[in-house]
Each structure stands twice: as C-alpha cells, then as structure tokens.
Amino acid sequence: MKKSIILQIDGGIGKNIAATAVCAAIKKQYPDDELIVLTGYPEVFFCNPNLKVFGHNEGHYFYQQYVENRDIKVLAHNPYLETSFIKGGVHLIQTWCEMFGIDYNGELPELFINSRELNFYTNVFSSKNFFARNKPIMVIQTNGGAKDQSNKYSWVRDLPVLAAQKVVDTFANDYTIVHLRRDDQLQLKNVISLQSDFRSIAVLIGLSSKRLFIDSFGQHTAAALGKPSVVCMIDQYTNDHFGYDMHTAVIANAPTVTPELRHSKFSRYNIIGNPIEFPYNNESEIYDVDKIVQALIDTPGNQTVIIKKTENNLIENVGVI
C-alpha cells in the first residue's frame, strides 16, 4: 500500500501559492506516494493533477479515510520559525522543503487552470471593458493582509497611496490599469478596481502586460505563471525570503529614523506596520517613485498565454511566453 504524505498549510493565500512549489518538490522525491494538502485556500490547488486538496473545514471523516491504519507522513510545521529562515536569508520555499528533508532544486510555484476557466474569465473581463480601446492591461496590487486587520494600511508591506497614484498617473494613458483591492482598502484614481475570486485574478494576471505588486499574493501568482513583475519590498531581507529572480525588486530607501523595535522577535518589523517601528520621517521617504516607474518600463511584458497539457490532456497549465 502506497504512503500518504499530508501537507498542512496555515497562513495566507500568498503562502499557499508558494507551497505549490513545495508540493512539486515533494512529488519529485516521492512520485509514487499520494500527496494530500490541507489548507484554508483549496482554490489555489484546484486542477493540480499531482495531489488531493481539502479545505480546513472540508475534511469530512478525514481521519478515518486518510490517517487511521494508514502509512502516513505528516508535514505540518511552520517554516517561518525555522532558524535558516530567520537568520540565513533563505527563501521560504527552500526552507519549507529542507525542514521536511525534501530536496530543493529551484522549484517555483505552479497553478493549473483549465481551458474552460481561461475562456470564461477572458470573456468576463472583455465584457467589463478591461480591454478598452485595445490598451494593454497593467495589474497592480498596493495593499495586502486580512480583511479584518486593524490597520488598513501597513507601511511594512503596502505601497504608499501617493506613490501608487504617481505610478498610475504615469501609465494611465497607455494602459488599462486594474487595481486588485478589497472595498476596505485604499482607492486610486484612473484605475478599474477589482475584487474577485482567486482563479479569475490568476487568469487576469496571465493576460496582463505589466504588473506592479507588493509582497502579497499577486507576486506569487505572477511567479507561478512565469510573468516578470515589479515588486516593492521594504528591505532586502524580505526580498531574499519571498522574492523571485524573474521579478524586479524595488527595495525601499534606507531608514532615515532609528525605529523603536521593542516588540520585534523573529523579524525586524511587524507585518501589520506598527506605528512605533516606522523608520522614516514620512511616507514619501519610503520609495523612490522614479525607480518604480523605470522598473516597469524596463520589465518585458506581453499578453500571450500558452497552454501546456498534461498527459491525460484534461488539465492544462497556464503559462506565458
């Protein structure tokens, strides 16, 4: 009887997208074993032919079906608390693999989207004039975090609204700019705001020509689709842990004020953007907008989507050239 490998993932959607690379590494090392994923974001793993996925609240009789009296290997620890991640600047995916004894060979995130999804969402976006006047699409994500977070804006992760608006104003005449945002997040002018399900957003990113992200799910999705993007990071430490070589990282300017770090434990700054840790005189000092604009100009982009069929020709992986 083959072994079942159970990977439990706690955390946000970006972490789950990164975990798809861990899944790929697991299957390379254990190709004959069954891989089962337990997650709060099962939609990230839909259509992946290499695993079974269950939401945390969907595992009806999970113990009886997949644990009791079975040969199992459970992978459920938190890579964020590994020494190599905290001190060594090792990427999240590599740390995740190595903590479980999985060989890491540069695996990247991967998403599987079938042709019906691709056609359906492309038609939806066309009907909403996302392709208005035949302008190419630029997708931007300026804010991240959970909907119920106390701080709607985190200087550690999010792009300052004035900087974001300057970027939009620079490109608005030449691109249809789609702003990924929830209703509780900051609004920009001259953009199309989009709050939608993850699968449709993944298709849109795949169809986009230019992309500007922060360290959130958008940049992980773009990496899974092979779409070079510009990603604003608060420091090189964050880029080392969560960035990808295909992206152009714009690192924030060096601090101009000595921050109060009395609450810091395993990372320099709290991701929620604790006000007392703010290391600048004002938000205009965080990023050089000209660097962001130039990085977007220099980053290659197109709207060509390719389909790679799996052996059974039923599930297809979206990528780009």
Residue-range definition of the domain harbouring residue 287:
115-307
Judge whether residue 313 has pLDDT over 60.
no
The pLDDT value recorded for residue 315 is: 40
Q: What is the CATH number of the domain that holds 127?
A: 3.40.50.2000
Mean pLDDT calculated for residue range 159-164: 96
**pLDDT at 320 exceeding the cut of 50:** no
**Top-confidence residue, 245 or 149:** 245
pLDDT band at 211 (very low <50, low <70, confident <90, very high): very high
Looking at residues 143-164, what average pLDDT do you find?
87
Looking at the chain, the whole-number percentage of residues with pLDDT higher than 90 is 79
Domain boundary among 64, 99, 134: 99
Which pLDDT belongs to residue 71?
94
On whether both 16 and 53 belong to a single domain, the answer is yes
Number of domains in the chain: 2
- Residue 176 burial class via C-beta count within 10 angstroms: exposed 0-12, middle 13-18, buried 19 and up: buried
Q: Are residues 128 and 247 in the same domain?
A: yes
> How confident is residue 312, by pLDDT bands cut at 50, 70 and 90?
very low
Closest to 44 measured CA to CA, from 73, 22, 76: 22
Q: Which of 87-91, 126-130, 186-190 has the lowest mean pLDDT?
A: 126-130
- Contacting residues for 210 by C-beta, under 8 A, at least 6 apart: 136, 137, 138, 139, 171, 175, 230, 296, 299, 301
- Is 129 contained in some domain? yes
Report how far residue 206's alpha carbon sits from residue 13's, in angstroms, rounded to the nearest whole number. 17
The SS3 call for residue 23 is helix
Domain boundary among the residues 99, 125, 141 is at 99
Angle separating helix axes 161-171 and 289-298, nearest 10 degrees: 40
Check residue 1 and give its pLDDT.
Answer: 60
Task: Give yes or no: residues 78 and 211 share one domain.
Answer: no
How large a percentage of the chain has pLDDT more than 70?
92
Say which DSSP state 35 is in: E
Residues 85 and 148 in one domain: no
Contacts of residue 219, defined as CB under 8 A and 6 or more positions apart, other chains included, come to 14, 141, 213, 229, 231, 242, 243, 244, 247
122 and 90 co-located in one domain: no
pLDDT at 304 over 60: no
